[in-house]
Amino acid sequence: MKTTNTVDASKIILSELMLPSHSNFSGKIHGGYLLKLMDQIAFASASKYSGCYCVTASVDTVDFLNPVEVGELVTLKASVNYVGNSSMVVGIRVDSENIQTGVKKHCNSSYFTMVAKDDEGNNTKVPALEIKNLEEVRRFFDAVRKINQKKKLKTLEEKFDHTSQESLASLKNYNVILDL
C-alpha cells in the first residue's frame, strides 16, 4: 500500500441525467436521490484514494441551495480534502445544467467522512495526504476547522443537563410549551 497519495488521485466526476422517476411530488428531483448519488461518489473518491473498501461515518451539513429539475444534467465532483489515520473527509459539489439552455446552478456542497476498512472489517490506515497547492491547503484547514467545531459541540452537549432548572427555564425562548 502507498504511504502517501495526492488530492488529484481522489478526484471523481459523475454526471447523470435526471429522470421523472427521480422526482418528488412537487416535480423536483428528490433530495434523497441526490444524497444517494453523493454517498456513491464519496465512496468512490475515498476508495480510489485509499485503495480500500470505505464506509460512510458521517455526513456534514447538506444545504439544498437550488432545486434540480427533471431533464437537467447533474454533475457531482468529489475529492479528499483531509486525511486522518483511517478516515478521510471527502468534499462534494453538486451542480445542475439545463441541457437546452446551458444554464448551470450550484445545487449543494457537502462533506462526507469516510473510513477505510481492511478485509476483516477493521479500520485501516490510509496514505498521508500530499498537498500540492494553496487551494488544497484551504480545503484541508476548512476540514480541520469543521472537525474541531464538531468536537467542541460534542463537549458542550456532554455537559448539557436537560433536567436542570436553568435548562428548563431557557425553553421559554423557544416555540415550545413545557408540560411536565
Structural domains in the chain, CATH included, are 4-131 (3.10.129.10)
Mean of pLDDT values over 99-127: 97
**How far, in Å, are 52, 98, 115, 159 from residue 82 at the CA level?**
16, 32, 12, 29
Residue 50 has a CB neighbour count (10 Å cut-off) of: 27
**63 contacts 76 by C-beta, under 8 angstroms:** no
The pLDDT > 70 percentage for the chain reads 100
Task: Reply yes or no on whether the pLDDT at 159 is more than 80.
Answer: no
Q: Of the given ranges (91-95, 142-146, 163-167), which has the lowest mean pLDDT?
A: 163-167
pLDDT digit string, tens, across residues 123-140: 999 999 999 999 999 999
Phi-psi region of 92 (alpha: psi -120 to 50; beta: other; left: phi over 0): beta
pLDDT digit string, tens, across residues 63-84: 899 999 999 999 999 999 999 9
Task: Reply yes or no on whether the pLDDT at 161 is more than 90.
Answer: no
